[in-house]
Every structure is written in C-alpha cells, then in structure tokens.
Structure 1
Amino acid sequence: MKSLSFVPLILFFVLSCFADASVRKSHHTANGFKNPNPNFETKGFWDVISWQFLRFQLPYSLDPKDYPPFPIMPNDGKQLQTNKSKLSVTWVGHATTLIQIDGINILTDPIWSERCSPVSFIGPKRYTPPGIKIEDLPRIDIVILSHNHYDHTDLPTLRQLEEKFHPLVFTGIGNKKLLLAEGLKNVKEMDWWEETKTKELSITFTPTQHFSGRGLLDRDETLWGSYLISGEKEKVYFGGDTGFYTHFREIAERFGPIDVAILPVGATEPRWMMAPVHIDPKETVKAFADLKAKYLVPMHYMTFVLSDEPLDSPVPRTKEELKQVGISEAQFVPLKIGESRFF
C-alpha cells in the first residue's frame, strides 16, 4: 500500500503539466490565434475607409519631398564582413536590422523591395533606399520574421536571401507553407515562449499584441510575435510590430536584463486607429523600461508612409519621452539608415 503514496504526487505532476500547457496555449483559437489582452480590439473595414478620408485634413504633409533629406549612411559592408565577435546592430531601414552576435549574422524582417505590397506596381513605396545592398551583406546565418504582413515578410527579398545565403528562417506558426512554396528550404515555425538553440545561440519567440493576414480572408490564421536572442554574454530583443501590453514586463521577468532592445517608434497615428497594434514613442519608452534594457534602437519609421505622424517626428518624440521619465539619452541609439553601432 505504500506505493499509493506516490499517486497524489504523480497526479499533481500530470495536472500541473496540463495546466501549464493551457497557459501556454491560451492564445490559440479554433481557426488561428488571438491576443491575450481581453480588451484588444482592432478597427474594421469602414474605420479604415473613414481614416483614409480624414488624412486629407492633416495640417502637415506626408510627402517625403516636403521634408529635408533624411539621414542615410551608405554602408559597404566591409566592417560587418570582418566582425566575428562584437555585438552590433545595423539599421537597413523600416524593421530590417542586421544583428551580429557571437559571430552569427541575423536579419530581422528583411525588405529590400521598393514597395510593401502584394503587387509590385502599387502600394506603399519606400522613400529612403536600403542602407546596405544585399550583395554587400556578410554571410546571413539566420532570418527572423515577426509576422506575415507585407512590410515584414517580403517574399522577393526572402527569395534573394535564400539564393545567396540559404539561411535558417524562424517564423510564427502557420507561415511555413507560404515560405516553402517560395523556395525557402530551411524554415522553422515557433509558438510563443518556444526556445530553439542554434549556432550557439538561444532564440525564443515571444509574444506581441498585433495581428496577421496577407489577404481579406486569412485574418489571424498565422502567429505573430517578437524574438529574444541570447548569446554567450549578451541578449538582444527584436520587437516586431506591437501594441502595448504586459508582455514586455513578462519577457524581462523570464530572461533578465536585456542589452539591446530594437523597438518600433513609427506607424503610430491616428491613435484611435493604431493604438491596439502599434506603440507610439511614449509607449516605446514604457516598453523599454519594462524590458530593463540598456540600449534602445528605434525602427519602423523613415522608410514607408504607413500612417499619419509627421515623417520626421518619431525620434524627437522619443527623446522627449525619455527626458520626461528620466532615462538618459545616452541609452537611446537612433541609427541613421545604413549605420552600424558596435556595443
């Protein structure tokens, strides 16, 4: 009868496993995925139409030609090609950055195309060129994709990277079929909080508050997210697209202090439209504080006109928010397009 004393322990262990799995899978639905925020709500089709009409009433221009030239630092890639040990971040444009950590080269949401659109002749057109040519990149080992929107999963660019580098591509659940159909060979789907060890790195797919879809009928069928990249000594967080929620604090609680947080600061206005899915500079600074990161590298601006804020406003607004909460501007690293920073 003594053996029965193990039954409660075994039962507790089994139930704990199921309970933990339930927590991990709470963002799954019968047809796809959802955000954990119970108050999350995006706008509908008619809201989008109304917004487009309201844009004609803006008191400032959204035409890049009406602004002074945007800062670009052309990069020939030579310093990046010889860097085998230092942590570095290079801003290519929009959400595309090159992360070098422990001698491994990682591209985030790569887009070199002229438009972020399902077709090549219409849709948002880039107004600043990529900061480095694909042919000048160092060997790309890994590509991480935050979600399947056209400005973050750009198939023409991914085909070029596959042809040249054959990288390992990480993406959220449901996106592998699309990528394999485009000729990519090495694709790994991930769920939130799933960790993969590769090339001496630990890469974890972490939550964001956003949505997915490449057409009218596939809303939220694939998973969106962000990434925590842990090297031997350093950690880098790539935020993808996101609204503000508790996930930033949860990431810090799980992984500890982060060295570099690459966070979006653009595509923020009007707030009644964008707030659920895009943090503005004030929320970016709150996210940076929640993450307990040392350095903030802003992205997701100065490349495509996707929203209503003045095109040159994200960096000044972020600096002002940092000042308001007492965070040193020395922790803010607003790269020029093409610029590399070695940490």
Structure 2
Amino acid sequence: MKSVSLNLFLVIFVLSCFADASVRKSHHTPSGFKNPNPNFETKGFWNVINWQIQRLQLPYSVDPADYPDFPLVKNDGSQLQSNQSQLSVTWVGHATTLIQMDGVNILTDPIWSERCSPVSFIGPKRYTPPGIKIEDLPKIDLVILSHNHYDHTDLPTLKQLEEKFHPLVLTGLGNKKLLLDEGIQNVQEMDWWEESKMKELKITFTPTQHFSGRGLLDRDKTLWGSYLISGKKEKVYFGGDTGYYTHFQEIANQLGPVDIAILPIGATEPRWLMEPVHVDPKQAVRAFGDLKAKYLVPMHYMTFVLSDEALDSPVPRTKEELKRSGFEESQFVPLKIGESRFF
C-alpha cells in the first residue's frame, strides 16, 4: 500500500544533503570541500517540503510491501573463502560489494545494519537482507569508504569488521577522527588522486560530484570520492555516490581504461532534486562509456528506499540505455543480492 505519511526523518536527512555550498575553483575550501563543477547547485528547505508533498501523488508505489520478492542468492562464503587469485565481485546490497583481486579482499561502503540512520529505531529501513553474513566473509583486508553518509559509512558494521578482521580502512579527508573515536584502528585519509598500496594493488581516491555530512551543521566538512583499484592485470572502479560530471573522463584519461565499473543506478527520482548528486541509469551508462569499461556492475538500489523511482525500475532502465548506446548485453552484470561473479 502506498504510504501517505510525511517521513520526517527523510526530510531532515535530505535537508542536510542539500544545504547551500559555495563555489570555488579548488575542491578545498576554508571550511571543508566542494565540487569542481561551477554549475553545481543544491536545493533548499522549501524544495524538500515540495518533494514530500509530490510524493503523495506518485502513480506507483515505493512501498516494498507492494512488490514481489526481489531475487536473492544464498551465499555461504565457501567459494569466496577458497578464492586466492581470481577477480570476483559479490553484491551484498546497496553500495556494499566484496571485491576479490590479486588475493586481496575488499569491501566497499559496508552496511549490514537494519537502518541507515544515526539511531537504530527510525530512519530508512533495509527491505532486502545482506547477501552474505559477516561471519561467512573471507578475511577482509581492506575497506573503502566513499563518503560519510549513514548508508555508506555505517559505524555498527565497521566496528564488527574491526573486531573480526582489523582491516585497513581508506576514507576521504576529515573522516579519520570519527572512525578512530569508534575504535576503528587502522584508518588512512586520502585526498583526490592520492594513492595507497596493498600487496600488489594500487588504490587511487578519485573525484565524484557529491557532498558529505552526518547532520545539519557539518555540510561538506569531509571529503567524498570514488576509488580506482589497479591490480596486476585488471582495474576495478567503485563509484560510490555521484552526480554526472567530467570526472569519469578524467579518471580514464589519467589512469587508463577500466575492466569493471561498479556504478550506482538507484536513488534517482525526482530528477529536479536528485540529479546534482545521483546519476540515473542514462547517466550511469554515459559514465560507463567515459570510463572505457568492459563490464558494468550496478549497485545502490533494491536495499533502502531513499527516493521516488519504482523499486523494480533501475535495472530495466539501465538495460534500455545500454542497448540504445550500442553496448553489448553481455557487458551488463546486474548481480542478484548475494550473487558472486568471477571474471
């Protein structure tokens, strides 16, 4: 049944996302960071209120209860635990993927919590379970965090991973104190285009068009971004959250073509509100082309309700855009939650 109540938490969450930001040439500012796009602009209080009113008139439901069960794959982790060298990607849900590359196990924006929220009893609730249990994961060597929003930097999950694996955690500038205060011990902050090494891998923190903040008063005080992971033979790009801009082309120009691009395709509607910070399927396909990637693995959908698109629409829309843009169907790898693909 379609919800007819205003979501107060979502209003506060989005207001924190779409506060005013100054425009400067560099992504560093006296108070924090900004996007390099001179046309980047965000929406204010009354825009968000207007959005909440418009949600009541949607021609379809965004209530997960009104949809059939989404496809899940049971993953006990045995195949992942035995894999020592082959490139693989497993979708855990939302922006959480497990990347195995040259014997290194990497988690992206891990969240196993029931809600992406500062509190456990209110806020966007998970409507599909994680694709693999934490206890079934292989030893996690590295965690990469794209930015500090609650659905991407989930402190309860990070504390579980710290206790079990003690991984290296990479994050943007300004986020280290938050993690250290929660007992995460091995944290490295990175600026755009900085590199880190792990065994045979080179990990580069790359730009995105987005924002940061965990409340109403810390807008853009920490840095957001994406990651290009370069191994012996392959390159994997993790896009985090991002609007569309020239950074995809810049990444390919500076670091070379990508083998696997893990890109968001959800949390996209309404476009007048979400376009500055979330690519839609059409823009995700354009970014895929900019990155000169071989395979597109989609994420950031089918887990939390954060926007207004029909919950079963992102994959079909992406397939249509890929076909229209001349890409082969085999280049699209829409994993089921819990599914692993070995390349």
Q: TM-score, normalised by structure 1?
A: 0.92
Structure 1 position 142, deviation (Å): 0.1
Q: Residue 45 of structure 1: CA displacement?
A: 2.1
**Alpha-carbon distance, 1:221 to partner:** 0.1
Distance 1:221 1:45 in 2: 20
Match of 1:119 in 2: 119
Q: How does 1:153-168 map to 2 (within 5 A)?
A: 153-168=153-168
1:67 alignment partner in structure 2 = 67
Listed as ranges, the gaps of 5+ residues in structure 1 are: 1-24
Query: 2:214 maps to what in 1?
Result: 214
Q: Name the residue aligned to 1:266.
A: 266
Identify the residue that residue 303 of structure 1 maps to in structure 2.
303
State the SS of the aligned residue for 1:289: helix
- Name the structure where helix makes up a greater proportion of residues: 1
User: How high is the sequence identity, in percent, across the aligned residues?
Assistant: 83
1:192 corresponds to 2:198: no
- Cα drift, residue 208 of structure 1: 0.1
Residue 21 of structure 1 aligns with which residue?
none
Q: What is the alpha-carbon distance in structure 1 between the residues aligned to residue 230 and residue 256 of structure 2?
A: 11
Pairwise CA distance, 1:122: 0.3
Give the superposition deviation at 1:199. Answer: 1.9
How many residue pairs get aligned? The number is 319
Counterpart secondary structure, 1:236 = strand
Greater alpha carbon shift after TM alignment, 195-204 vs 313-322: 195-204
> 1:260-291 CA deviation, whole Å, 9 max, x = no partner?
00000000000000000000000000000000
Larger radius of gyration: 1
SS at match of 1:156: helix
Alignment of 1:234-253 (within 5 A): 234-253=234-253
Where in structure 1 do 4 or more consecutive aligned residues deviate above 2 Å? none
Question: Aligned pair 1:276/2:276, yes or no?
Answer: yes
> Could you report, residue by residue, the CA deviation over 1:207-266 in whole angstroms, capped at 9, with x for unpaired residues?
000000000000000000000000111100000000000000000001111110000000
Shift, 1:46, TM fit: 2.1
- Cross-structure match for 1:46: 46
Question: Which residue does the alignment assign to 1:326?
Answer: 326
Residue type of the partner of 1:41? E
- Aligned residue identity for 2:142: I
SS in 2 for 1:253: helix
Structure 1 CA distance for aligned equivalents of residues 181 and 197 of structure 2: 26
| 2:26 match | 26
Task: In structure 2, list runs of 5 or more residues that go unmatched.
Answer: 1-24
For the pair 1:316 / 2:316, whether they are aligned, the reply is: yes
1:29 maps to amino acid: T
Structure 2: how far apart are the matches of 1:169 and 1:319? 34
Which residue in 1 is equivalent to 2:293? 293
TM-score (normalizing by structure 2) = 0.92
